[in-house]
Amino acid sequence: MRTPAPETRPVALTIAGSDSGGGAGIQADLATMTAHGVFGTSVITAVTAQHTRGVESSFVLPREEVAAQLDAVTGDFAVGAAKTGMLATTEIVRLVADRAPEFDFPLVVDPVMVATSGDRLLEPEAEQAYEDLLGEATLATPNADEAEVLSGVEVVDADSAREAGEAILETGVDAVLVKGGHVPGETVRDRLVTESGVETFEHPRIGTQATHGSGCTLAAAIAARLAGGEPLESAVEDATDVLARAVRYYSDVGEGHGAVNHAVELRNAAAREPTAEAVRTVVADLVDRDVSRLVPEVGMNVVGATPYAESVAETAAVEGRITRTLDGVRPNRGVQFGASTHLAAVLLAARESAPELRFAVNCRLDGAIEDALAELDWTVAENGLDEDVFADSEAPPVAVIDRADVGQEATVKLVAEDAETLAERTLELCDRLE
Ligand SMILES: Cc1ncc(COP(=O)(O)O)c(N)n1
C-alpha cells in the first residue's frame, strides 16, 4: 500500500442557489473557491433551471433541508469563511440570519435579488428580512440596484455609492462594497465603505455583456481569501482584480452572452511555464539560424505573454537580452518573467486591442531591412502615424516600425499569436537579407 499524502486547505462555505448553466450560483462559487486553493462546501437554497440566456424555472428547497445542510457542514468542517448568494425567500433569509450569530467565521452577504438576465431570484417581501442578516455579516456586496433597495439611496455615481454604503452600515454590517458595474462610465469604481472611511478600487470597463456570474464570483473570491486568512481590505481589492480578469477573458459558452471565467487566475498561473518554454524555443531557433543581421545595437529580445497577461510581470523574456558575439548571437541569461520592460510594454499595449497577440521580437531597422519588409506580403504599421495600429483586430499588423526619437535607435517589432509563427517570420525576414 502506498502512503497517502493528504493536504489541509482552508474551508469556505457558500449558501446559494444552483445555476444549471454553471455560470453563477453554487457552481460559480465552488469553481472560484477551488481556483483560489480553498476547499469549497455548499448549502443549496434553490435549484434553478438556467442557462446563459436566463432563468427558465426555479424550485426553492424546504427550509428544513436548507437547515440540515447548514448543520451538516458547520457541524463537521472548520469553516474559515462563508458567503451567501440567492436566498430566494424570506424564510431562508431568516434562517441564515438566525444561525449567523453562531458563526465563528466571517460572513460575506451578496444580496442577490435580480439576475443579470432580469429574472427575479428573491421574493420581493424578502428584501426587508435582509436587514437582520446584514447585522450579522462582515461584508455586504450589493450592486447599485441592490444598494438602492437596501438604503433608499439612488446610486448613480461614486458619491451616491458612498452614501448608500454608509446607510447600509447602519444595519450593523462591518463593511459594504458598493459595486460599480451597473453605474455607467468608462471606469468601474467599486467602493468599500467602513466606519473608518471609503476605499475605491478602479478598473477600466470591459466591452462585454458576459458578466453572468460576476457578483457570485466576486463574493466567493472574497470569502475564499478570508478563509485563507487575508485581511478584509486586501481580500476585497485582490478579488476585484481577479473579477476584472475573469470578465475580460470570459468563458464564451452558451447562446447568450457567456459567463465569467471563474478559473482565470489558475489558468494564468498554469500558462506561465509553457509560455517561458515557448520563448526559449524561439530564442534557440534564432541562435541556431544566427540572426546577427537583425540584432539592434540595444540588443534583441523575445517576449511571450501568458494568454491572460495584463502586466510586465506576466510576460517572459531573456534577461540581459540577446546580443551579437564574434560568431553569432547569444542570450545573455535565462528566460525570466518580468525580464523585458520596453518590448513587453509594446506587446501589452497591442494586447489592449488585439488580445490574441502573445509573442514579440524587436529587430534592427535599416534600409535593407525596410526593403525586405516591403517585399514580404505582411501588414506593416508605423507607430506614431496611426492612432492605434492594433485597433483593427480583424487583421492586426505583423510588424510595427518604430522610427524613434533623436538619440534613440529605430527598430521594427514583429508580433504573433504563437511562438512558431514568430520564429518563422523572424527567420523569413533574415533570409530575405541575403
Ligand atoms: C442561482 C443563481 N444565483 C445567482 C445568480 C445571479 O447571477 P447573475 O446576476 O450574474 O446572473 C443567478 N443568475 N443564479
Tell how far the Cα of 26 is from the centroid of ligand 1, in angstroms.
Answer: 9
Q: Are 66 and 95 contacting, i.e. CB atoms less than 8 angstroms apart?
A: yes
pTM: 0.95
Whether ligand 1 lies within 6 angstroms of the CB of 19 is answered as yes
Share of the chain above pLDDT 90, in %: 90
pLDDT score of 388 more than 90 = no
Spatial distance between the Cα atoms of 111 and 154, rounded to a whole number of angstroms = 16
Spatial distance between the Cα atoms of 46 and 17, rounded to a whole number of angstroms = 5
Q: In 3-state terms, the chain is what percent helix, strand and coil (to 5)?
A: 40, 25, 35
- What is 271-433's CATH topology? L-fuculose-1-phosphate Aldolase (3.40.225)
User: Where are the extended beta strands (E) located within 20-76?
Assistant: 39-51, 54-60
Query: Do the domains spanning 11-269 and 271-433 agree at the CATH topology level?
Result: no
Spatial distance between the Cα atoms of 199 and 158, rounded to a whole number of angstroms = 11
DSSP state of 157: S
Tell how far the Cα of 166 is from the centroid of ligand 1, in angstroms.
Answer: 26
Q: Are 262 and 246 contacting, i.e. CB atoms less than 8 angstroms apart?
A: yes
pLDDT score of 87 more than 90 = yes
∠ CA 74-80-81, nearest 5°, is 90
Share of the chain above pLDDT 70, in %: 99
pLDDT number for residue 57: 96
Using the structure block, give the residue that is written with the C-alpha cell 455579516: 137
pLDDT number for residue 336: 98
Nearest CA to ligand 1 atom 2: 25
pLDDT score of 385 more than 80 = no
Contacts (Cβ under 8 Å, ≥6 apart) of 241: 201, 203
Interface predicted TM-score (ipTM) of this complex, two decimals: 0.92
Dihedral of alpha carbons 337, 338, 342, 348, sign: positive
Helices (H), 143-263: 144-151, 158-169, 214-227, 232-248
Whether ligand 1 lies within 6 angstroms of the CB of 216 is answered as yes
Tell how far the Cα of 145 is from the centroid of ligand 1, in angstroms.
Answer: 14
Using the structure block, give the residue that is written with the C-alpha cell 445542510: 69
Angle between helices 126-135 and 144-151 (to 10 degrees): 90
In this prediction, residue 329 has a pLDDT band, given cuts at 50, 70 and 90, of: very high
pLDDT number for residue 386: 60
Tell how far the Cα of 190 is from the centroid of ligand 1, in angstroms.
Answer: 19
Residue 211 alpha carbon, nearest atom of ligand 1: 10
Spatial distance between the Cα atoms of 243 and 16, rounded to a whole number of angstroms = 19
Strand order in the sheet with 380-382: 335-337, 315-318, 302-305, 359-364, 411-416, 399-402, 380-382
338: left (phi over 0), alpha (psi -120 to 50) or beta: left
Give, for ligand 1, the residue of 92, 109, 112, 120 to mutate: max count of ligand atoms closer than 8 Å to Cβ.
112
Domains of the chain by residue range: 11-269, 271-433
List C-alpha distances in Å: 194 to 123, 167, 225, 227. Answer: 29, 11, 19, 20
Spatial distance between the Cα atoms of 357 and 104, rounded to a whole number of angstroms = 47
Whether ligand 1 lies within 6 angstroms of the CB of 13 is answered as no
Tell how far the Cα of 143 is from the centroid of ligand 1, in angstroms.
Answer: 13
Cell of 351: 494586447
Tell how far the Cα of 268 is from the centroid of ligand 1, in angstroms.
Answer: 25
Residue 55 alpha carbon, nearest atom of ligand 1: 13
Whether ligand 1 lies within 6 angstroms of the CB of 17 is answered as yes
Average pLDDT over residues 174-184: 96
Residue 215 alpha carbon, nearest atom of ligand 1: 10
The pLDDT tens digits of the residues spanning 9-46 come to 999 999 999 999 999 999 999 999 999 999 999 999 99
The pLDDT tens digits of the residues spanning 139-151 come to 999 999 999 999 9
pLDDT score of 279 more than 70 = yes
Residue 18 alpha carbon, nearest atom of ligand 1: 1
Tell how far the Cα of 126 is from the centroid of ligand 1, in angstroms.
Answer: 17
Spatial distance between the Cα atoms of 343 and 117, rounded to a whole number of angstroms = 42
The pLDDT tens digits of the residues spanning 233-252 come to 999 999 999 999 999 999 99
The pLDDT tens digits of the residues spanning 309-324 come to 999 999 999 999 999 9
Spatial distance between the Cα atoms of 230 and 346, rounded to a whole number of angstroms = 34
pLDDT number for residue 393: 58
Homologous superfamily of domain range 11-269: Ribokinase (3.40.1190.20)
The pLDDT tens digits of the residues spanning 186-216 come to 999 999 999 999 999 999 999 999 999 999 9
Cell of 20: 444549471
**Cα 47 from chain centroid?**
27
Q: Are 333 and 270 contacting, i.e. CB atoms less than 8 angstroms apart?
A: no
Q: Cβ of 54: how many Cβ atoms within 10 Å? A: 16
Whether ligand 1 lies within 6 angstroms of the CB of 121 is answered as yes
Q: Are 249 and 307 contacting, i.e. CB atoms less than 8 angstroms apart?
A: yes
The pLDDT tens digits of the residues spanning 42-83 come to 999 999 999 999 999 999 999 999 999 999 999 999 999 999
Give, for ligand 1, the residue of 14, 18, 19 to mutate: max count of ligand atoms closer than 8 Å to Cβ.
19
